[in-house]
Amino acid sequence: MRPTYLEINLAQLKHNLEAIRAHVAPAKVMPMVKANAYGHGIEGVVPFIEPYVDMLGVALVEEGIQLRQLGIKKPILVAGGTMIGQLPSFFEHDLTLTASSLDLLLVADQLAESTRQRMKVHLKFDTGMERVGVHEYEAEEFLQKSLACRHLEVEGIYTHLANSEKVDRKYSLLQLERFQEILRFYEKNSLPMPMRHVCNSGGILNVPEAHFDMVRPGVLFYGIYPGRDIERKVDAKPVATWKSKVAYSKITLPGRPVSYGSLWQAEGSPTRIVTIPCGYADGYFRNMTNRARVVINGKSYPQVGRICMDQFMVNAGEDDVKVGDEAVLLGGGITVEELADWAGTNEYEVMTNISARVPRVYVGAVQ
């Protein structure tokens, strides 16, 4: 196995889920496992966590199919945009459709009728994200048409918060008000209310009045908070530790530049430069050059010189760091927020960009 790997603590993942569930009770919990479980590895995460969840959320039809191929039985909502040509896969693999347009809704109903099958759908409304979904001011016609779709089971109705992680809740509350206006359709017509869900990770923490019947934790499920200033009301901790080993160790003389572009060199005295077998092809962003830090043998050292595709270098100073010594790239005192700052991005991109060629190793799988 590669010396560079991502260690996933499944016991901590389960704890995070339990903490979220306790916080939102009695609402159901549907973790989002799209994008390879936010980089944590869908094949290791989902089979373990399935017994403890109510539903699972993905972005792509292909992700839903992958879960079924892994033997997952729980309901799976495909939350991303779906093309009409992909609808047969929903029947074949028992996936739940996000009906985000009238055209998609009607074609799904026609296909269900022609194949003598039923399809579960969740109606998606755009209350201020401007991504996908029917606008709240066009909801009446959409909802009326949904009642006529006799071959579909409208199981849920939802929207997505655009700024839920912000301390200023003004826009989130505006979106919630618009969503509540949509829901009045069912009350006015004395109809049973579908399952309502609004809250992503930020909403779970910041908009408790929108917990409704189900929540959709994303990064919070993996122990990462969606905003730096958001109140940490749920006892969730990171489950991923990115580890490697020193692959080479040498003394570099002053004036001899390290790596491509000659962006760094030792000044004044010789220094020990060690090489870590991980690079931007693994998701260790090139933009972190001369900014990142790595923990080796429990001590923090600066990354130096241009980060390469497969390797990067660290300045160990006068310390006797040897080949084979453990290096921690994430965890062990280095936070995902720090990696995001060094890379000039956010925590979501850091985790989802850890390459598939970095093995995921699962620990703590106590059922």
63 and 152 belong to one structural domain? yes
Segment 284-308 shows an average pLDDT of 98
Q: Is residue 234 part of a domain?
A: no
Report which of 253, 223, 238, 236 is spatially closest to residue 328, judged by C-alpha positions: 238
| H helices present in 189-328, as ranges | 201-206
Mean pLDDT throughout 131-160?
97
Q: Evaluate whether residue 361 is within a structural domain.
A: no
Answer whether residue 45 is part of any domain: yes
- What are 242-272's pLDDT values in tens digits? 999 999 999 999 999 999 999 999 999 999 9
Tell me the one-letter amino acid at 147.
Answer: L
Do 190 and 257 reside in the same domain of the chain?
no
3-state secondary structure 82-116: CCHHHHHHHHHCCCEEEECCHHHHHHHHHHHHHHC
Same domain, yes or no, for 174 and 274?
A: no
User: Rounded to whole angstroms, how far apart are CA atoms 10 and 334?
Assistant: 20
211 has a pLDDT exceeding 60: yes
Over residues 339-364, the pLDDT tens digits come to: 999 999 999 999 999 999 999 999 99
Does 253 lie in the same domain as 145? Answer: no
Q: Which two structure tokens, joined as six digits, stand for 299?
A: 């001590």
pLDDT value of position 365: 78
With beta carbons less than 8 A apart as the criterion, state whether 27 and 213 touch.
Answer: yes
Question: Given this model, what pLDDT does residue 366 score?
Answer: 62
Give CA separation, 4 vs 117, 251, 346, in Å.
47, 23, 22
Strands 28-29 and 5-9: unpaired
**Domain region containing 31:** 10-222
Q: Which 3 state secondary structure label does DSSP give 136?
A: helix
pLDDT over threshold 90, residue 318: yes
CATH code of the domain in which 302 resides:
2.40.37.10
Give percent of the chain with pLDDT exceeding 90: 98
Flag whether pLDDT at 332 surpasses 90.
yes
**Strand, coil or helix: 35:** helix
Residues with Cβ within 8 Å of 97's Cβ and at least 6 positions away in sequence, in order, are 78, 82, 87, 90, 104, 108, 119, 120, 121, 122
Is residue 351, in this structure, part of any structural domain at all? no
CA 259 to chain centre: 33
pLDDT at position 143: 98
Place of tokens 């850890």: 354
* DSSP 8-state assignment for residue 164: T
Determine whether 34 is an active site residue: yes
Tally of domains in the chain: 2
DSSP H helices, 226-357, are 336-343, 347-352
pLDDT band for 319, please (50, 70, 90 cuts).
very high
Please give the mean pLDDT across all residues of the chain.
Answer: 97
C-beta atoms surrounding 283 within 10 Å: 23
What is the tens place of the pLDDT at every residue in 216-251? Answer: 999 999 999 999 999 999 999 999 999 999 999 999
Of these residues, 145, 233, 260, 299, which one is catalytic?
Answer: 260
Verify whether residue 166 is a known catalytic residue. Answer: no
Q: Does the bond joining 26 to the residue before it have cis omega, within 30 degrees of 0?
A: yes
The CA distance from 20 to 12, in Å, is 12
Which residue, 313, 335, 162, 308, is CA-closest to 248? 313
Contact 279, 312 (CB under 8 A): yes
Helix H segments across 116-230?
139-147, 170-188, 201-206
| Residues 280, 321 within the same domain | yes
Q: Element (H or E) spanning 48, and its range?
A: helix 42-49
Handedness of CA 297, 298, 299, 303 (dihedral sign): positive
Q: Is residue 355 part of a domain?
A: no
Rounded mean pLDDT, 312-323: 97
Local structure of residue 150 (DSSP, 8 states): T
Task: Give the pLDDT score at 1.
Answer: 81
Candidates 34, 124, 243, 245; catalytic one: 34
The residue-averaged pLDDT of 111-135 equals: 96
Q: CB under 8 Å to 180, separation ≥6 — which residues?
A: none
CATH assignment at residue 101: 3.20.20.10
Q: Could you tell me if residue 366 is inside a domain?
A: no
- pLDDT digit string, tens, across residues 61-78: 999 999 999 999 999 999
